């Protein structure tokens, strides 16, 4: 009878041990108090999922070369190198796409044409001779010089002085003993000199001898014209009014202004320096 309570105590202890949960089967608690399943869900982040997907894509990429395809890739590289040698330099570059030409409207075309015409007219004015051909003076149509006539006159322009002698002849002009065209190679200067003769109709009827000194080639041409015009007015006084209107008898007094003391040129001042 005394053994029964002891057996009962052993039975109760075994039952308690069976009801106790094994430590291996107990759910693990994470640091933040979550269970094992919740902790696993927290560890798998979207970034980790993205990296896993990228690795899978790389593994499944059909274009990736396998380790055993080294011979094929080397052959392709040799073929590309051989083709590159045959092609000219820059053949592999992509062509630059040029912008298509924009069609202009009728108004725009007309404006551009007008600008081109205006530009051409300005250039023509710059290259045109200073003295344009004008109609001969009516009073000189029948005027002639006597056979023994010898008319002398003096013309001036800037620093040039020209002594002119007009004689009956065939229209030859000599300047300082040289031919007219040789002394004045530019047609502009030749036109200036012969303009009084052309305007009065004496071109080809008289011989002109000019001795000119001082100044430049342009000033000498103006002085010769001034002297010839003065000589013609002495030969035919009726020509004075027409020659005066055309400006052949007026001395062109324009000249280079002299330099002043303290200046670089006539009016150009030195730059002011504060220091």
For the segment 253-273, the average pLDDT, to the nearest whole number, is 93
Domain CATH number, residue 225 = 3.30.230.10
Domain-embedded: residue 153: yes
Q: What is the pTM of this model?
A: 0.50
Angle between helices 187-200 and 217-235 (to 10 degrees): 10
Whether 68 has a pLDDT exceeding 60, the answer reads: no
User: Rounded CA gap, 179 and 169, in Å?
Assistant: 15
Domain-embedded: residue 102: no
User: Rounded CA gap, 166 and 197, in Å?
Assistant: 11
Confidence at residue 41, expressed as pLDDT on a 0 to 100 scale: 47
What digits encode the pLDDT tens for the residues 186-232?
A: 999 999 999 999 998 888 889 999 999 999 999 999 999 999 999 99
Confidence at residue 42, expressed as pLDDT on a 0 to 100 scale: 45
Domain-embedded: residue 45: no
Domain-embedded: residue 235: yes
For the segment 240-246, the average pLDDT, to the nearest whole number, is 90
What is the domain range of residue 176?
A: 147-244
Domain-embedded: residue 182: yes
The total number of structural domains in the chain stands at 1
Query: pLDDT > 70: what percent of the chain?
Result: 62
Confidence at residue 12, expressed as pLDDT on a 0 to 100 scale: 55
- CB atoms inside a 10 Å sphere around CB 36: 11
Domain-embedded: residue 117: no
**pLDDT category of residue 170 using cuts at 50, 70 and 90:** confident
Give the DSSP per-residue string, the chain.
Answer: --HHHHHHHHHHHHHHHHHSPPTTTSPPPPTTS--HHHHHHHHS-HHHHHHHHHHHHHHH-TTSPPTT-HHHHHHHHHHHHHHHHHSPTTTTSPPP-PPPPPPPPHHHHHHHHHHHHHHHHHHHHHHS-SS---PPPGGGSS----TT--EEEEEEETTEEEEEEEEESSS-EEETTEEHHHH--SHHHHHHHHHHHHHHT-TTTEEEEEEEESS-HHHHHHHHHHHHHHHHHHH-GGGHHHHHHTTSSS-----PPPPPTTSSSSSPPPPP---
For the segment 131-149, the average pLDDT, to the nearest whole number, is 63
**pLDDT category of residue 175 using cuts at 50, 70 and 90:** very high
Confidence at residue 30, expressed as pLDDT on a 0 to 100 scale: 45
Domain-embedded: residue 25: no
Query: pLDDT > 90: what percent of the chain?
Result: 35
Mean pLDDT of the chain: 75
Buried b (16+ CB within 10 A) or exposed e, 138-147: ebbeebebee
Confidence at residue 201, expressed as pLDDT on a 0 to 100 scale: 87
Domain-embedded: residue 163: yes
**pLDDT category of residue 3 using cuts at 50, 70 and 90:** very low
For the segment 28-40, the average pLDDT, to the nearest whole number, is 47
Higher pLDDT, 216 or 44: 216
């Amino acid at each position: 009878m005394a053994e029964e309570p002891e057996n009962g105590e052993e039975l109760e202890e075994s039952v308690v041990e069976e009801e106790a949960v094994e430590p291996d089967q107990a759910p693990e608690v994470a640091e933040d108090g979550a269970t094992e399943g919740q902790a696993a869900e927290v560890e798998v982040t979207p970034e980790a999922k993205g990296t896993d997907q990228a690795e899978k894509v790389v593994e499944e990429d059909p274009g990736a070369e396998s380790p055993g395809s080294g011979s094929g890739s080397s052959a392709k590289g040799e073929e590309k190198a051989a083709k590159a040698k045959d092609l000219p330099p820059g053949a592999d570059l992509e062509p630059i796409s040029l912008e298509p030409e924009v069609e202009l409207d009728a108004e725009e075309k007309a404006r551009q044409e007008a600008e081109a015409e205006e530009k051409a007219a300005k250039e023509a004015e710059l290259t045109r001779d200073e003295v344009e051909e004008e109609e001969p003076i009516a009073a000189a149509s029948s005027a002639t010089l006597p056979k023994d006539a010898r008319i002398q006159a003096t013309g001036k322009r800037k620093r040039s002085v020209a002594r002119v002698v007009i004689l009956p002849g065939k229209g030859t002009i000599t300047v300082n003993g040289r031919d007219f065209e040789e002394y004045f190679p530019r047609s502009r200067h030749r036109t200036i000199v012969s303009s009084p003769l052309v305007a009065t109709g004496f071109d080809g009827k008289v011989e002109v001898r000019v001795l000119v000194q001082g100044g430049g080639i342009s000033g000498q041409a103006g002085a010769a014209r001034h002297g010839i015009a003065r000589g013609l007015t002495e030969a035919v006084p009726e020509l004075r009014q027409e020659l005066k209107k055309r400006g052949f008898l007026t001395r062109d007094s324009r000249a280079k202004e002299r330099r002043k003391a303290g200046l670089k040129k006539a009016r150009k001042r030195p730059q002011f320096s504060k220091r």
